[in-house]
Each structure stands twice: as C-alpha cells, then as structure tokens.
Amino acid sequence: MYNSEFGKFSGVKFMLIMKKLLIVFLCILSFTGYAQDYSPQTNFESSSQIKGLKPKTKTYLDQVFANPTVSDYGRLMVQIDIKQKIKYDDIVAYINEQNNYTTITIIGNNATQTNSWLIPHDQKAIVTMVLFLKKGDYKNYALKHLAKYAKSKEIINGTNADAFIYTFDNQTQLLTRNNVIWNGSLSNGKISGNGQGYYYNNGTIIYFTGSFKDGYPSDCSFYKYTINESKVFSKPSIIQNNIKVETFGDGLAAFTKPNERYGFIDKYGKIVIKQQYTKVVKPFHDGKAVVWDEKRHSNVIINTNGDFVDYDEEYIYDYNVRVAKASYSKLNSIGKGMFFTYSGGTLIDNFKWSGEVVNGMINGDGSGFTKNDKTFYFISGTFVNGFPKDCVYFERIILLYDNANVAQIDEYEIGFDILSEGMAFILPKGDVRFSLVTEYGKMVVEDEYYNCKPFENGKAEVVIGGNKEIIIDKNGEFVEYTANEKAKIKAIEDAEKARQQRIKDSLDYIAQQKAALERKKAEYERLVAINCNSKLWNQGDHICLLLTEGSYEGKLTCGTLEEWNTNHTKAKIKIVTSPSKNLTYNGELLQKNNTFWIDAKGTRWHKAVKGEFEETLTYDNSIKGPDVIYQQVSSPSSGPHRYDDCDYCKGSGKLECPSCGGDGYCGWNNDEYCTSCKGRGMERCYHCHGTGRK
C-alpha cells in the first residue's frame, strides 16, 4: 500500500520539491540572522523598500553580498550567477541603497554589459563579478595604486608630512597646499630638492615627482588619480597645466607650461609679464632680465614691466663678433683706443679690454668693445699706447631698434705699419694699396701706396703705381726718388740711348742695303738690255723670258736655243724651266721640252744673265703630268742608302732669297714684300731642287 502510493511521485517532481524546500530554508536563515558572517563584513542593509527591485532579486542579492571576498588592492568582490538573470540596473540600484559603499565595478566574465541583461558571448560565462569598496577605503586603495605606479613605497609613508607646495590651476593662478606628503628635503617648511610626494584633494590624489625649490616646481611632473564616468578607478594621467617656475629675482620668476613660452609671475602667482619668450637667459636682477627676442633675433634686456630696454651686449659680443681673442667674461680692463674704418680712425673712450691698460691706453694683445648710443665697436689685435700695430680686426655693429634685424654689421680688417713719428700706413683686408694716416686717425693719403717703410726724419719711402719707389713727406707730397729708383731710371735712360743708336745703325745699314740693291737691279737691267740683242745668241745658249703678268710676275721661264732660220730672224726655243706648265707664250705652252719659234728682233727674250738659269730651277713647274723624278728625289727611300745633304742649303732645301737678301721686304723704305719670294725671305735651293739632297 505504502509502496504503491509512493511510486506515484516521479523522480523529477521529487527534485523540484527538494529545491523549493532548500530555498525556503535559506530565506528563513537570512531573515532570522542565522546566515554566517564571513570577514570582511559589508553590513548591507536588508531593506525591502528598494524601488523597482523584485523581492526575489532582493533576497538573492542579500545572500550574495553577505559573503564578499577580498580582491586586488583591498577591493571586495562578489559573484552573481548569470542564470539568475539579474539586471545590471538592479545591481546598481541595490548597492546604491547601501550606506557604506564607495564605488563599484561590474565585470561580466566573458560577458557584455547591455542596458538590461548581462548576456554571455559564448554561453560559457557563469558569473558576473561585482567589485566594490567600503566607505573610507578609497584613499588607501588609491595609494596602493600610486605606490605601484611610482615603484616606491616610501611616498606612502613620506618622512616629511605637513610640507608646503605651490601649484597652479588652469588659469595659472597660484594655489598653495599644506599637509603634503614628501620624501625629500624641506626648506623653511617648503619642499625642496628632488623627490616624490602627493596630496589628497576632493577624492582625487595628485602625485608629483621631480625637482622643487622653495616649494615651487622647477622641473617636475604632476599626475592625477580620479574616477572616470564608468566608476572604474583610472590609471594616472599627467596634469597638462603643470608649470615650471625658475629662480626668483626682484620678486619675479620666469614660468612656463609644457610646450609653451616663458612669462613672469610674482610671489603670489600673479602673471606680471605674459608668456612671450622662447628662452630666459638671466633672471631679474637690479630690475632687469635677459630674454631671447625673436623679433630682433637676439638676447635683449627687459624691465619688470616686460618693456624692451636694450640689446644684451654679452650676446652681441660673443655671438656676432667674428675673431675675438677673449670671451666677454675676460674683458676686465677699461681703456682708450683707436677704432679704424677704411676712411680713417677715431679715438674712443671706455673700451672693455682683455689685455693690459697703460696710462689709460689699451696695450698688448687682446680683444675689446664699447657701445656708444646705438653703435657697438669691437677691436681685436695688438695695440701700442692705444694705437693698433700689425694686422688688427675692427667691427662696427649698428644696432637696429625699429625692425626685425639685429644690426647692420661693418667689418674692417686692417694691416698697420708700426707707428713712427706720429704717422702710420694702413692696409684694409683684400686691398693692395696702403693709406697714410696720422696717429689720431686722420686720413692724409687714401689708397695710394703698394708698399711702404716707416717715417724717419719726416720722410718715408713708398712704392706707387708703376712700381716706382719715391720718398714722401708727412703730407704725402713727393720729395725725391729713392736711390734704388734713381738707379733704375738711369738704367732705363741708358737703355733708351742704346736703343736709339741701334735704330740709327739699323737705318744706316738698311740704306746701304737698299743702295746696293738698287745698284744690283740697275746692273741686272743693263745686262738684260744687252742680252736682248739676238746677235749675241748662240745655239745651245739659255734664253730667258721675264714674266710680267699675274701671280708669276717677276719670274722667269727658260729654254735653249735649238736653231736659227735661214736669215736669223727667228729662233727655235726648247723649254727647259717654267713656273707653270699651263703658261703660254703667243699660244704656245711653256711646258718642258715643248719647242716653238720666237722673233729674234724686238723680243722680250734675252740671253740668260749669270745665275738666272739656276734661279728658274728653284720654282720650276714645267713638267706635264706627275713629276716622277722630283717625287723620287724629294721623297727618298727610308732605307739604308740615303742621299747626302746638299752642300749649299745644308739639307734644308731652301736658300736665302737673292733679291731681298732674306729680309722678305724691298722698296725704298723697305716696307714692301719682295716680289721674288713673296715676303718669305727664302727660295727653293736650285742646287738640289729643294730636296735638301745632293
């Protein structure tokens, strides 16, 4: 009976009944206070008046939050079974009703947080983790984070508490902080030197590290720890309005923000001079500071109002002067000295000088400068009693106050002779001529002398144009030539006399030669006139014809008398030489071996005068066709059997022209080309036919 009734219950129904009994039992324990109180306790209130929260959800969350575990950095953690389908908003509403929480973080294990449910991605997540803090635990929790980031536990327990620090807000207004925790040193209760520290401000921890002086940050960084919108504790972020404060002077200190320009604040943090400088060179002292001025491209001096006062002379000296022998810091003396330009010199007072000063005048080797109104004068070199010696460098910098340029720079590098008798010679760099000046810089003679010597007894030797050596007085006036120049002048005069004598002798010689030539010409014409008489002709004689036309004017063609006609009125001529094979006479070609009859009376033909036939051989070109014999003679074999040199021309193939004597000129004034050699002065040797060989 019993067994049959019990069998009516299935196994499934039995399990459902047991589950409900277990839930009822747990609820009774929860409401009656019999649930275990695990440490740490959260003391959540079990109010059933949470708006919008179902009693079943409230009961489940009471059970879960009653037994939290400790997570990282002291946070508490509970896990919610996502099968319960607890809404995110319900969890937030539940914990917000408690009075002892600080913040919460809800993390779905592999789950996505939506507006309504915590839905798993892969259906494997089984819990949602909820991290929260007790009220009052937030600061300790943040400090643990800070210690981990700073890698120093020392700042948490800083040895110097109650320290003082200056910081600034976003409007660059000065704020002060007391009760700063600092692990470095203090100066009059203010943090100084290098170290790390922090202070707590309205739920946010400000951590700082770096260098401080009298409480002001000189080279440091600030970091902020806060809670973001999702109530997750953030990583440290740098505070971008961090300000670097330089050393105070005259109650003002330069300050800057990262990647910004410099300005000046007073000790109360008020901005006195706005941020406008890229660099602060020197802090305020005696009401002046040195800053870099981009407009003027130079270090400048400003007053406590930020107004431009003047250029910084140290910068002008060290960065504009080209050949300084000493730095600005070595200019420890004050004296007078001459400042020279290419137009003269000026005595200037108050040179700051790196060398010695004797009787108020700069001396020795060194560098110096002075400033007069808007002009900066620089000198470098060796000075004797204020006057430059040897090569000295000068630079005049005219400072420009009304435009963007630093200055107009004029450079002078001048070589000086040693000052003698109150006078000196100067030579600008790149020039080749000296100028004469007085010891007071007055220009006497400008750009005149190529060389010079010191004055002696009121006179000095100089070299002027034309390499002339003269002696001048102190006014630069000519006195006389030097002994060396006198010797040169005498040598020139003697050479000129000798030249004139040679010209005279040459003219006499030319006249003699011309007279001889005229006599020779007259004699030749006389002989030709005689030999034109055919009665003097004999068979076999050389008969010549003087050509009078064209390019062959003055040359001869020559033949031999072969026979007479019966009454001796005509003679048969056989051509032997001719200047050209193409010349004709009465229609007959003047070619070698060509024969023709000529008139024996009233003719231009004449019996050859002595030497005429030999002359025709020098320019013979009468052979028709290639002159094989001439080619063989003029181009001898290069073999071992050479011809000997001609005894007359010595192998040159040329002889001096007999008409002009080798001069190439003829005429009364010897100014006309010789008609025989055409001005060449040489003719082909008629002994070897121009071959140079026997």
Task: Report how far Cα 46 is from the mean position of its chain's Cα atoms.
Answer: 83
Greater pLDDT, 122 or 104 = 104
pLDDT tens digits along 590-627: 888 999 999 888 888 999 998 888 888 888 888 754 44
pLDDT tens digits along 143-195: 666 666 655 555 555 555 556 676 655 555 556 666 677 877 887 777 888 88
Q: What is the mean pLDDT of residues 639-660?
A: 71
Question: CA angle, 124 as apex, 119 and 126 as ends, to 5°?
Answer: 70
Greater pLDDT, 549 or 328 = 328
Q: What angle, 0 to 180 degrees and rounded to 10, lies between the N-to-C axes of helices 55-65 and 11-32?
A: 70
**From CA 61, how far away is CA 79, in angstroms rounded?**
10
Please give the pLDDT value at position 238: 64
DSSP one-letter code for 467? G
DSSP 33-71: T-S--PSSP------S--TT--HHHHHHHHHHHTS-EE-
Phi, psi angles (nearest 5°) of residue 493: -65, -40
pLDDT tens digits along 358-397: 999 999 999 998 888 788 888 888 998 899 888 788 888 8
Which residues have a Cβ under 8 Å from the Cβ of 559 and sit 6 or more positions away?
542, 543, 573, 574, 575, 576
Greater pLDDT, 125 or 263 = 263
pLDDT tens digits along 534-580: 888 999 999 999 888 778 888 899 999 999 998 888 999 999 999 98
- pLDDT tier, 508 (very low <50, low <70, confident <90, very high otherwise): confident
- Burial label for 424, CB within 10 Å (0-12, 13-18, 19+), is buried
Q: What Å distances lie between residue 295 and 263, 264, 299, 686, CA to CA?
A: 16, 19, 10, 94
**From CA 218, how far away is CA 88, in angstroms rounded?**
48
Please give the pLDDT value at position 542: 93
> What b-and-e string marks burial along 77-105, b requiring 16 or more CB atoms within 10 Å of the CB?
ebbbebeeebbbebbebbbebbeebbbbb
Give the domain ranges of the chain: 1-28, 36-135, 139-245, 322-483, 488-531, 532-635+643-684
Residue that is written with structure tokens 């070619």 in the block: 591
Are the beta carbons of 248 and 215 closer than 8 angstroms?
no
Element (H, E) at 506: helix 483-531
What architecture (CATH level 2) is domain 532-635+643-684? Roll (2.30)
638 Rama sector, left if φ>0, alpha if ψ -120 to 50, beta otherwise? alpha
**From CA 338, how far away is CA 332, in angstroms rounded?**
19
Peptide bond into 40 cis (omega under 30): yes
DSSP 593-642: T-EEEEESSS-SEEEPPTTHHHHHHHT----SS--HHHHHHHS--SSS-P
DSSP one-letter code for 6? H
Identify how many contiguous H helices and E strands the chain contains and give both numbers: 9, 46
Q: What Å distances lie between residue 248 and 214, 253, 282, CA to CA?
A: 10, 4, 11
pLDDT tens digits along 285-317: 999 999 998 888 888 999 999 999 888 888 888
Compute the mean pLDDT over every residue in the chain, rounded to the nearest whole number: 76
